């Protein structure tokens, strides 16, 4: 499959008409019209095989996730997604693989009316770099640096599911309670249906994260600071604290857990996944006490649960306390390249 | 060296104040203000170790070239460079290497007042993906599809130098006429100084290409079509022809050659480099006959030589003729991934 066939295939599957795309894929640059009064929000994220995803990841899931992790960054600043460019590096170009990758990308792109406007396709070790573009009114963007002492710290959704899902894939016995990936392997007992459902739910969180774009928009004018939880709660909340010149105190008992996580993992493992697992793509934000009830109500109306997990304090750093108020040490606050 | 130290180091070395950068490196997304009446031009290009550059490439040169090849795409549409995001994937993070890479990037970025506004740093096989952003007034962008039958085909600068330089690096004896890379090897005769100068000139074209940004701006309103020569003249001119629904006839004798290329390579090798070598980053553009003299004069005033090499014809494809008018077969028109 030649390079230009790949480009045609991706274009055909990811086509999405937007009036502001004056020129899309196929020239030396895309030409795009910005709406008046808005700032351009730009973010880029790379996924590398063997680092950010397992070598046997389904191409549909990879196309989805590459876009999801980038849209999550736009969500974190409260931007409306608009355009993306795709740099796709592959060892080989197999039509079926590329088609499935493009379908995964397109499935999520359609949901947010995002147009793929350009890219580069090269040979090399498998990796995907997306650059996403969105709009946010001047002065309305959510930032990391606005948290104030006393603000509530809130997270959307649940934490730890994706890391728990990854741990299931990495365990040779298929999971802590007999859940297994290879249904055709008769040498192991069948998992109970409820366990299998829980296992699938965790893997879905790992493979097809749902970026909190609508929630980021809702938080404009309400949250004092915001970040998406990609590297792990403690690490990412630490960025908010550092940028805000403050610290945070988290109550471990309040960390929201999915029923799947509660079903398949004991408390210690759950806590590790929730505090430092990464790949959650929930929003962690701060809000003045007086605004907490209104923001929780607005999120609930959008169909998104959200949980107060702690508060901003003066002392730098992120402290985690258990139900008895004792401080819990967090060994590895989050994902760190080159550590 | 930790990931956040790398980001700080790159930010410190690539800092460039622009009033339109409302928020640069360090949050979930950059926030950028577009000038009124302009379109945003966006392009992305990846360089992969062992595919686009040799494994022992100096990091300064890699930082420079990664930006140059992207700026060349903005030049090809006639856009003014503004911002870039950098996705840098490395197996290890060595401070000296990252600093030199950032310095190479910054040296070229300063020349064009381009600000690095964001990025992603990950572990994995060495590769660089840049996404560059520029401005072009609505309706003024140069496109591939505007060439008309009878238009002159013109290229800036000289062709084939970078491919010739690469061939020098790949020859174990250090070059066709004894030029050598390893000056400390006493077993070979010293090259003549003039040969060494020529060899250095070709390697410089390979390592630090100069994107034709100023020339792209000059061509707005003058050229009927434009592309940058990155994959090879015949391949890239072929894209212009395909997009324009026409063909082109090139006279091989007219292809501009540098004195270094003339000095170190015979006619057959020169021709191959010039027609299909790639990595030139010159502009190849078309202009109606009536506009040819004026555009050549304007380019000369900008300090850039340009040469008419052929014309647009009705028959599809790119034909190359020798001095006697005989058609020359082009075995490999240009670089093709996955071929």
Contacts of residue B85 in chain A, CB cutoff 8 Å? 42-44, 131
On whether any CB of chain B is under 8 Å from the CB of A55, the answer is no
On whether any CB of chain B is under 8 Å from the CB of A7, the answer is no
Query: How many CA atoms within 13 Å lie on the side-chain side of B39?
Result: 24
Q: CA of B184, closest CA in chain A: separation in Å? A: 33
**Residue A231 is encoded by which pair of tokens?**
């590297």
Residue A122's closest chain B neighbor by CA? B337
Report the pLDDT value the prediction gives residue A188, as an integer from 0 to 100: 58
Say how far apart CA A212 and CA A228 lie, in whole Å.
9
Report the pLDDT value the prediction gives residue A330, as an integer from 0 to 100: 85
Contacts of residue B49 in chain A, CB cutoff 8 Å? 124
> B49: which DSSP letter?
B
The CB density around residue B217, as the number of other CB atoms within 10 Å, is 17
Q: Which of B10, B38, B129, B145 to mutate to test the interface with A (most CBs of A within 10 A)?
A: B129
CA angle B60, B61, B66 (to 5 degrees): 105
Within 144-183 of A, beta carbons closer than 8 Å to B belong to: 144-145
Among A23, A44, A228, select the one facing B131 at the smallest CB separation.
A44
Among A23, A46, A121, select the one facing B120 at the smallest CB separation.
A46
CB A121, CB B44: distance < 8 Å: no
Contacts of residue B336 in chain A, CB cutoff 8 Å? 2-3
Band (A329; pLDDT cuts 50, 70, 90): confident
Contacts of residue B7 in chain A, CB cutoff 8 Å? none
Report the pLDDT value the prediction gives residue A178, as an integer from 0 to 100: 39
Within 193-232 of A, beta carbons closer than 8 Å to B belong to: 226-228
Say how far apart CA B22 and CA B8 lie, in whole Å.
18
A167-171, A290-294, A334-338, B82-86: range with lowest mean pLDDT = A334-338
Band (B4; pLDDT cuts 50, 70, 90): confident
Calculate the alpha carbon distances from A86 to A296, A298, B24, B278 in Å. 35, 34, 21, 22
Q: Which residue has the tokens 């490439």?
A: B57
Contacts of residue A83 in chain B, CB cutoff 8 Å? 42
On whether any CB of chain B is under 8 Å from the CB of A236, the answer is no
Indicate whether B295 pLDDT > 50. yes
Say how far apart CA A264 and CA B88 lie, in whole Å.
37
Report the pLDDT value the prediction gives residue A312, as an integer from 0 to 100: 98
Indicate whether B335 pLDDT > 80. no
**Contact between chains at B77 and A28 (C-beta distance less than 8 A):** yes
- Give me the phi and psi of B63, to 5 degrees please: -60, -40
Residue B283's closest chain A neighbor by CA? A28
Cβ within 8 Å of residue A64, ≥6 positions away: A104, A105, A107, A108, A207, A208
Q: Which of A29, A77, A217, A332 to mutate to test the interface with B (most CBs of B within 10 A)?
A: A29
CB A329, CB A280: distance < 8 Å: no
Average pLDDT over residues B224-237: 96
Q: What is the 3-state secondary structure (H, E, C) of B204-236?
A: HHHHCCCCCHHHHHHHCCCCCEEEECCCCHHHH
Band (A179; pLDDT cuts 50, 70, 90): very low
Say how far apart CA B228 and CA B236 lie, in whole Å.
7
Say how far apart CA B247 and CA B282 lie, in whole Å.
20
Contacts of residue B134 in chain A, CB cutoff 8 Å? 29
In this predicted complex, what is the ipTM? Answer: 0.92
Cβ within 8 Å of residue B198, ≥6 positions away: B179, B259, B260, B263, B264
Residue A298 region, left (φ>0) first, then alpha (ψ -120 to 50), else beta?
Answer: alpha
Q: Which residue has the tokens 């310095």?
A: B103
**Contact between chains at A39 and B32 (C-beta distance less than 8 A):** yes
Indicate whether A212 pLDDT > 80. yes
Residues in chain B: 339
**Contact between chains at A136 and B73 (C-beta distance less than 8 A):** no
**Contact between chains at A40 and B23 (C-beta distance less than 8 A):** no
Structure confidence by residue, pLDDT tens digits, A214-235: 999 999 999 999 999 999 999 9
**Contact between chains at B138 and A22 (C-beta distance less than 8 A):** yes
Taking chain B, what is the end-to-end CA distance rounded to the nearest angstrom?
38
Q: Over chain B, what is the mean pLDDT?
A: 92
Report the pLDDT value the prediction gives residue B329, as an integer from 0 to 100: 87
Q: CA of B273, closest CA in chain A: separation in Å? A: 21
CB A30, CB B41: distance < 8 Å: yes
Within 265-284 of B, beta carbons closer than 8 Å to A belong to: none
> A253: which DSSP letter?
G
Q: What is the bridge-based pairing of β-strands B115-123 and B80-90?
A: parallel
**Residue A35 is encoded by which pair of tokens?**
């709406």
Contacts of residue A119 in chain B, CB cutoff 8 Å? 44
Q: What is the bridge-based pairing of β-strands A247-251 and A317-321?
A: parallel
Report the pLDDT value the prediction gives residue A180, as an integer from 0 to 100: 41
Residue of B126, B123, B122 whose CA lies nearest to B55: B126
Band (A64; pLDDT cuts 50, 70, 90): very high
Q: What are the E-state strand segments in chain B?
A: 21-23, 30-32, 38-48, 80-90, 115-123, 127-137, 152-156, 225-228, 247-251, 283-287, 306-313, 317-321, 327-328
On whether any CB of chain A is under 8 Å from the CB of B125, the answer is yes
Say how far apart CA A290 and CA A136 lie, in whole Å.
25
Average pLDDT over residues A270-277: 95
Band (B189; pLDDT cuts 50, 70, 90): low
Band (B187; pLDDT cuts 50, 70, 90): low
């Amino acid at each position: 499959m030649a390079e230009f066939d790949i480009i045609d295939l991706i274009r055909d599957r990811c086509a999405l008409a937007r009036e502001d795309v004056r020129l899309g894929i196929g020239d030396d640059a895309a030409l795009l019209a910005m709406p008046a009064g808005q700032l351009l929000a730009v973010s880029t994220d790379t996924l590398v095989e063997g680092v950010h995803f397992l070598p046997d990841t389904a191409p549909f899931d990879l196309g989805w996730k590459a876009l999801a992790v980038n849209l999550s960054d736009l969500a974190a600043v409260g931007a409306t997604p608009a355009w993306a460019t795709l740099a796709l590096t592959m060892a080989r170009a197999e039509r079926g693989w590329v088609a499935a990758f493009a379908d995964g990308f397109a499935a999520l792109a359609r949901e947010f009316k995002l147009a793929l406007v350009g890219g580069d396709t090269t040979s090399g070790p498998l990796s995907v770099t997306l650059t996403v573009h969105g709009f946010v009114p001047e002065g309305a963007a959510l930032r990391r640096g606005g948290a104030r002492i006393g603000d509530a710290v809130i997270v959307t959704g649940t934490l730890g599911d994706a890391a728990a899902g990854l741990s299931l894939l990495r365990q040779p016995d298929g999971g802590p309670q007999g859940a297994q990936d290879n249904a055709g392997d008769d040498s192991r007992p069948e998992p109970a249906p409820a366990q299998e459902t829980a296992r699938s739910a965790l893997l879905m969180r790992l493979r097809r994260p749902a970026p909190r774009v609508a929630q980021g928009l809702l938080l404009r004018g309400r949250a004092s600071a915001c970040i998406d939880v990609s590297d792990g709660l403690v690490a990412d909340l630490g960025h908010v604290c550092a940028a805000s010149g403050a610290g945070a105190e988290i109550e471990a008992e309040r960390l929201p857990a999915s029923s799947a996580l509660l079903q398949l993992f004991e408390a210690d493992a759950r806590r590790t996944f929730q505090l430092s697992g990464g790949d959650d793509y929930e929003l962690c934000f701060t809000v003045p006490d007086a605004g907490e009830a209104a923001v929780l109500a607005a999120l609930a109306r959008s169909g998104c649960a959200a949980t107060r997990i702690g508060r901003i304090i003066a002392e730098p750093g992120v402290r985690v306390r258990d139900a008895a108020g004792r401080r819990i040490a967090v060994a590895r606050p989050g994902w760190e390249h080159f550590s």
